């Protein structure tokens, strides 16, 4: 791919890098809290993607002033991201609530240990099926 563009667009490149750091954490890490943190980083970086596209050359915050020559950045991405942030925190809250419950009933928040417990239950069930 054409590197000169990537350099010119380095801002986006970094945002993407951040996104992928978050994404990797979500899918790779087995600790549920770590997953949620990864999700937070992932989503925040997506927000940054949106905000970057709203920015305009020497623009200012989209709050109308009397100066007619003023250039404003595009407010629409801001609005979308406001909504997205709220949605994000809502998800986070539910996620953490679930984590607490999982801790309570499995006494761990490590994915592999939970899977282990589940497999044991499944095995016990299979045996019950046979009898």
Q: Identify residues 9-48 at the interface with other proteins (CB under 8 A).
A: 9, 11-14, 16-44, 46-48
Please state the closest distance from residue 77 (CB atom) to other proteins, in A.
7
Dist CA 126 CA 131 (whole Å): 9
Per DSSP, what are the bridge partners of residue 110?
31
Q: Identify residues 57-76 at the interface with other proteins (CB under 8 A).
A: 57, 59-65, 71-76
Q: Does 127 bind other proteins (CB under 8 A)?
A: no
Q: Does 116 bind other proteins (CB under 8 A)?
A: no
Dist CA 56 CA 61 (whole Å): 10
Please state the closest distance from residue 13 (CB atom) to other proteins, in A.
6
User: Which residues are CB-contacts of 61 (< 8 A; sequence separation ≥ 6)?
Assistant: 72, 73
Q: Does 119 bind other proteins (CB under 8 A)?
A: no
Dist CA 104 CA 128 (whole Å): 26
Q: Does 93 bind other proteins (CB under 8 A)?
A: yes
Number of residues that bind other proteins (CB under 8 A): 108
Please state the closest distance from residue 86 (CB atom) to other proteins, in A.
5
Dist CA 78 CA 51 (whole Å): 6
């Amino acid at each position: 791919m054409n590197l000169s563009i990537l350099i010119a667009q380095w801002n986006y490149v970094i945002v993407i890098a951040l996104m992928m750091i978050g994404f990797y954490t979500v899918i790779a890490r087995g600790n549920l809290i770590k997953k949620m943190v990864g999700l937070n980083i992932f989503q925040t970086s997506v927000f940054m993607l949106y905000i970057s596209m709203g920015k305009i050359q020497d623009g200012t915050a989209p709050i109308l002033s009397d100066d007619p020559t003023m250039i404003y950045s595009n407010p629409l991405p801001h609005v979308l991201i406001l909504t997205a942030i709220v949605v994000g925190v809502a998800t986070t809250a539910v996620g953490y609530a679930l984590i607490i419950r999982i801790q309570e009933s499995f006494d761990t928040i490590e994915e592999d240990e939970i899977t282990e417990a589940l497999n044991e239950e499944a095995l016990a069930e299979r045996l019950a099926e046979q009898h």
